[in-house]
A and B are shown apart, each in its own frame.
Chain A
Amino acid sequence: MKIYSYAIIDSNSKISDSINGLEGVGVYNIYYRDIGVVVSELSEQIQDITQEHILKHEEVVEKLMENFTVLPVSFLTLFKKKDDVLLMMREYYSDFRENLDRLRNKIEFGIRIIWSGETIRNRIIDTYKKSSANISITDTSPEKSFIKEKFEKYKLDKEFEEEANKVITLIDDFFSRFAAEKKLERLKSDNLLLSAFYLVEKERQGDFKEAFERTKRTPGDLKFLLSGPWPPYNFIVLTKNADMFNRKPINQDLAGKNTL
Chain B
Amino acid sequence: MEGVITKSKDVTLLEVLDRVLDKGVVISGDIVISLADVDLIYVGLKVLISSVETMERLRGAPFAGAQEEPT
Contacts and interface: CB of A to CB of B under 8 A. Distances in A.
Interface of A: 2, 7-8, 45-51, 54-55, 57-58, 62, 65-67, 71-80, 84, 87-88, 92, 96, 105, 107, 110, 112, 114, 188-189, 191-192, 202, 205, 209, 213, 223, 225-231, 233-234, 236, 238, 242-246
Contact of A48 (B15, B43, B59, B66): B43
Given A45-B38, A72-B24, A55 B13 contact: yes
Contacts of A243: 29
Contact of A72 (B4, B18, B20, B35): B20
B38 A246 contact: no
Name the prevailing secondary structure of the B interface residues: loop
Contacts of A105: 3
Q: Which 8 A-B pairs have the closest CB atoms?
A: A245-B29, A72-B24, A245-B31, A242-B29, A233-B19, A78-B33, A233-B23, A189-B59
A57 B20 contact: yes
B64 to A, nearest CB: 11
Contacts of B66: 112, 225
A55 B16 contact: yes
A244 B26 CA distance: 14
A47 B15 contact: no
Contacts of B61: 191
Contact of A45 (B18, B30, B40): B40
Contacts of B27: 73-74, 77, 88, 92, 242
Q: Which of B13, B46, B68 has the most A CB atoms < 10 Å from its CB?
A: B68
Name the prevailing secondary structure of the A interface residues: mixed
B44 A87 contact: no
B14 to A, nearest CB: 10
Contacts of A233: 19-20, 23-24
A2 B1 contact: no
Contacts of A71: 24-25
A35 to B, nearest CB: 12
Nearest to A241: B29
B30 A227 contact: no
Interface in B21-71: 21-33, 35, 38-40, 43-44, 46-47, 59-63, 66, 68-69, 71
B1 A67 contact: yes
B18 to A, nearest CB: 8
Contact of B9 (A74, A228, A245): A228
Nearest to B47: A49
Contacts of B69: 225-228
